[in-house]
Amino acid sequence: MDLLLDPLDYEFMQRALAEAVLMGAACGLLGVLVLARGLAYTGESLSHGLLPGAAVAVAAGVSVAGGSLAGAVVAAILVALVSRRREVDEDVAVGVVLPGAFAVGVIVLATWGTPQDLDSLLFGSILAAREIDLLLGAAALALALGLVAVAGRGLVLSAFDRPFARAAGLRPGLLDLVLLVALALALAVALRGVGTLLVLALLVAPAATARVVAGRIARMLWLAPLLGVLSGVAGLLLSFHRDVAAGPAIALCALALFAAGLVVGSARRLVAGPAR
């Protein structure tokens, strides 16, 4: 019990644990929709879109969380608009817009920031989480829950059969835009914890683990957030007790759970035997 309770003696660890719970739940929930829609590459690239907004915020001396969110939302909208053109595929739009945004962020930081600023944005600094970060985390989780409740069925349907979704009166393009904006908010929250280079682990690994273990979307929607929270809390505890960087520790725990999920999935198939 001391391993679990000792970190709570410190106020910065209390905030960090709260942030880990919020970002793990939000990223885990949205990760299910991201995998269903096949947007894992978009999620990785969108995380790079956080950097220019965060870099401008650092240079201007304003909220990094707000700046990264603004940058990611702008990047998400640009990707959605560019990919609407018939001659431009979605992956091409992502590959053009978001690496360019990442390059702009690096240049801004190299000009007006410090090496510590760059390190923090690339690899996270969850131990420095403030009240504004917790408010953004709560907003991201609330948006993810609302998105699943209101548009989850439509998002899943458009992911598997877009022509049928259009015939049913849905607007897959609009649903994609809403998902990208919600994803931008979740990634902006996770930026504080694991940074732009490691955030994909928290977005994809819990959802991928849930898919291997649970299989069905309905089960994944409750299992993935739990795994995201477990990854965040376990990574923070590892960081506290072993004096390692918190962001990489969280990402490593998420990947370790995925590896464990693969083992569990393989064992279940062996027990079940060959399909008839």
Domains of the chain from N-terminus onward: 2-272 (1.10.3470.10)
**Band of the pLDDT at 257, cuts 50, 70, 90?**
very high
d(CA 62, CA 84): 33
Kindly tell me the sign of the dihedral angle through the C-alpha atoms of 26, 29, 35, 39.
negative
Angle, alpha carbons 196-45-175 (nearest 5°)? 115
| Token pair listed for 59 | 């240079």
Mean pLDDT, residues 71-83: 76
Which has the closest alpha carbon to 180: 41, 76, 89, 95? 76
pLDDT of residue 274: 60
Pick 193 or 146 by higher pLDDT.
Answer: 146
pLDDT at 209 over 90: yes
- Mean pLDDT confidence for 87-106: 78
pLDDT at 275: 53
In whole angstroms, what separates CA 181 from the centre of its chain?
A: 12
Helix (H, G, I), strand (E, B) or coil at 161: coil
Amino acid, res. 26: A
Average pLDDT (1-24) is 84
In angstroms, what CA-CA distances link 182 with 59, 72, 94, 240?
A: 26, 10, 17, 31
Tell me how far apart the alpha carbons of residues 275 and 146 are, in angstroms, rounded to a whole number: 38
Please give the structure tokens belonging to residue 170. 């849905």
Q: What mean pLDDT is predicted for residues 62-75?
A: 77
- The DSSP letter of residue 169 is T
Q: Which residue has the tokens 């299992």?
A: 223
Q: Using CA atoms, how far apart are residues 237 and 240, in angstroms rounded to an integer?
A: 5
pTM for the whole structure? 0.81
- Residues 202 and 19: beta-carbon distance below 8 Å: no
The three-class DSSP label of residue 72 is helix
Whether the predicted pLDDT of 232 surpasses 60: yes
pLDDT range class, residue 149, cuts 50, 70, 90 = confident
pLDDT for res 1: 65
